[in-house]
Amino acid sequence: MKRLILLLFIVLVSCNKEQPTTFSEPANLEMLVGVDGTKITFREVLYKHKGKKILIDFWASWCKDCIVGFPKLNQLQKEFPDVEYVFLSTDFSQPSWKKGIKKYKIKGEHYNLPKGMNDGDLVEFINLSWIPTYMVIDEEGEIALFKATNITDKAIREALEDN
């Protein structure tokens, strides 16, 4: 009986489709590292783009799926030039992260999550278990698309088109 109740609980929790529309305070305070080595909170990054749509790409230089998706992401950048593109790398090696930006010619604003994809308040908030992961933030600073793992996901385009 206990197993049945536990199984039912797991099913109900996993079926919960409610997605957050704002970031938690700890996630907002997560420290990121800029390409130039400066530290900035995630909230400050979002604030820099206040009033604009933002596509956030969680990626790493060693991630094959991330690399394969860059040409399609470049196409989105051409189709939606007014969107801000923010790339959050989960690389532990900052030299590898910076080489990846140049090698794959990734255009946008770049930051590193120095704790990687398995630790930190921001990755915990979004339950980052796979990269690439994409999020869309609307002009009011709310989460329009909580999580997509494929750049061709139609929900990304819909969130970018939605006014």
Q: So what's the pLDDT on residue 16?
A: 43
pLDDT single digits (tens) 62-80: 999 999 999 999 999 999 9
In a domain, 16, yes or no: no
Domain hosting 97: range is 23-161
Number of domains in the chain: 1
Q: Which CATH number covers residue 44?
A: 3.40.30.10
In a domain, 9, yes or no: no
Q: What gap in Å lies between CA 158 and CA 101, rounded to an integer?
A: 27
Q: What gap in Å lies between CA 57 and CA 39, rounded to an integer?
A: 19
In a domain, 14, yes or no: no
Length of the chain: 163
Question: In which band, very low, low, confident or very high, does the pLDDT at 5 lie, cut at 50, 70 and 90?
Answer: low
pLDDT single digits (tens) 103-113: 999 999 999 99
Residue 31: C-alpha distances to residues 19, 21, 42, 111, 116 (Å): 23, 21, 6, 10, 12
10 Å Cβ neighbour count for 97? 24
The phi, psi pair for 39, rounded to 5°, reads: -105, 140
